[in-house]
Copies of this chain bind each other. A is one copy, B any other.
Amino acid sequence: MASIKDVAAEAGVSVATVSRVLNDHPSVSADARTRVLAAVEALGYRPNAVARSLRTDQTRTLGLVISDVLNPYFTELARSVEEEARALGYSVIIGNADERPDLQDHHVRTLLDRRIDGLLVSPTDGGSPLMLDAARAGTPMVFVDRWIPGVEVPVVRSDGRGAVRDLVAHLHSLGHRRLAIIAGPAATTTGRERVEAFREALAEYGLALPDAYIGQGDFQAESGRRVTEGFLDLPEPPEVVFAADNLMALGALDAIRARGLRVPRDIALAAFDDIPWFVHTDPPITAVAQPTGELGRAAVRALVDRIEGRPPQSVTLPARLVVRRSCGEQPAFPEPDPVQNRSQS
C-alpha cells in the first residue's frame, strides 16, 4: 500500500507538502497542490488512519456499547447513532453486551485500548469499576437510555412517566383494575423507573400494585414467559400484563397463547418500547413508544460536544402511548400503522 513517502516521491515534493495538501493547509502553491493530487490519484493513495491517529491522538471514532443487539429497540438506536455520527464525521464501533456485565467490560476495555474519542453506553448493570474509572479519568462519555446514578456523565434518555400514566388511564377506562407488571432488572435504571412510573400512575386511580403483581424479568423473552406463567397461576390472575420491554412482551404473549387464552379477551397486554413488529402480532400490541431515533442523535451530539470542548447537555425526551388492540376495544382514532418507521437520511 502506497504511503505518503511514495506520493511525495512521485510528486517531487517533501512529505510535509503532501500532508499539507491533504489537510488543506493554506500555504501550498497551486502548482504543488496539483502535482500532489495527481500523484495521489496515480498511486491510489489513501492516508493510513492508524498512523494519523497515533500522531494526532484522535481517532474520530465513537464507541457504542449496547445491552442487546437482538432487541430491535437497540438496533434502531444503533442505526440512528451511526447516522448522526457519520454526519458529524465520526465512525462508530458497536459493542454488544448481551446484558452481560463481563461482556460489557470486555467491550469497554477494547474500545478504550483503541483510543476511541468518546463512549456511548447503555449500561447493563450498576457500573463496573472499569467504566467508573474511565469516566473519572476523563474519557468523554454519555449514557443513553439507561444510566448510572452518581456518575458525572450526561444522560440522554426518554421519560416514560407521562405515557405510562396515559396507559393506565386507557386501561382503567376499559374497566381493568388488576394490573401486573413484568419488571426489568433492578440493576438498571430503566428496570426500576418503569415499575415506579407504573406504581405512581396506579396510585392516581386508587389502585395498588401488590408484590404478587410485580414479576422480575431480565429484558429477555424467556423471562417474560416465565413471569407470565406465574401470573396466570395466581388464584386471582391480573387482567392486564404490562411488560417493561418488547422482548418480555413477546414471551408473555407466548405464555398466554400456550394456555389457550386470547388477548385481549382473556387478558390484556401492553409493552414498553414500540417496535415495527407490534403492528403485525396477533393482536397488534399497545405500547409506550420512545423517540428512539431522536435519542440516538441527541446522544451523539452531546458526546461530540463533550469531545470537541463544548459543554454537553443531558437530554430527556417524552415517550408517548400508542394504542392498538391488545388491551381491548378499538382506539377512537385508529393510527395509520406505517409499515416502516425508518427515517430516511
Binding site for B on A (CB under 8 A): 44, 46-51, 53-54, 59, 69-70, 72, 75-76, 78-79, 82, 86, 91, 93-94, 96, 106, 109-110, 112-115, 133, 220-222, 225, 250-251, 253-254, 276-277, 279-283, 337, 339-340, 342
Number of this chain's copies in the assembly equals: 2
Q: In the assembled complex, how far is the CB of residue A15 from the closest CB belonging to chain B, in whole angstroms?
A: 16
Question: Which 6 pairs from chain A and chain B are nearest by CB?
Answer: A282-B282, A221-B339, A49-B113, A49-B114, A221-B340, A50-B53
Q: In the assembled complex, how far is the CB of residue A77 from the closest CB belonging to chain B, in whole angstroms?
A: 11
Q: Is the CB of B70 within 8 A of A342?
A: yes
Q: Is the CB of B50 within 8 A of A114?
A: yes
Choose among A76, A109, A340 the residue with the greatest number of B CB atoms under 10 Å from its CB: A340
Q: Is the CB of B79 within 8 A of A69?
A: yes
Q: Is the CB of B50 within 8 A of A251?
A: no
A60 and B121 alpha carbons, distance in the complex (Å): 23
Contact residues in B for A50 (Cβ distance below 8 Å): 50, 53-54, 59, 114-115
Q: Which of B72, B96, B277, B281 contacts A79 (CB 8 A)?
A: B96
Choose among A106, A112, A342 the residue with the greatest number of B CB atoms under 10 Å from its CB: A342
Query: Known: A250-B339, A254-B339, A280-B250. Contact between A113 and B79, CB under 8 A?
Result: no
Q: Is the CB of A48 within 8 A of B93?
A: no
Q: In the assembled complex, how far is the CB of residue A133 from the closest CB belonging to chain B, in whole angstroms?
A: 8
Q: Is the CB of B96 within 8 A of A93?
A: no
Contact residues in B for A106 (Cβ distance below 8 Å): 86
Q: In the assembled complex, how far is the CB of residue A293 from the closest CB belonging to chain B, in whole angstroms?
A: 11
Q: Can you pick out 22 interface pairs between chain A and chain B where the beta carbons lie within 8 Å of each other?
A: A46-B113, A47-B113, A48-B115, A49-B113, A49-B114, A54-B54, A69-B78, A70-B76, A72-B72, A82-B96, A86-B106, A91-B93, A91-B110, A221-B339, A222-B340, A250-B276, A250-B277, A250-B339, A277-B277, A277-B280, A281-B282, A282-B282
A277 and B54 alpha carbons, distance in the complex (Å): 45
Contact residues in B for A69 (Cβ distance below 8 Å): 75, 78-79
A301 and B154 alpha carbons, distance in the complex (Å): 40
Contact residues in B for A47 (Cβ distance below 8 Å): 113
Contact residues in B for A337 (Cβ distance below 8 Å): 254
A134 and B303 alpha carbons, distance in the complex (Å): 33
Q: Is the CB of B72 within 8 A of A340?
A: no
Q: Is the CB of B283 within 8 A of A340?
A: no
Contact residues in B for A70 (Cβ distance below 8 Å): 72, 75-76, 79, 342
Q: In the assembled complex, how far is the CB of residue A194 from the closest CB belonging to chain B, in whole angstroms?
A: 21
A49 and B93 alpha carbons, distance in the complex (Å): 15
A184 and B272 alpha carbons, distance in the complex (Å): 33
A191 and B77 alpha carbons, distance in the complex (Å): 28
Contact residues in B for A112 (Cβ distance below 8 Å): 46
Q: In the assembled complex, how far is the CB of residue A220 from the closest CB belonging to chain B, in whole angstroms?
A: 7
Q: In the assembled complex, how far is the CB of residue A246 from the closest CB belonging to chain B, in whole angstroms?
A: 10
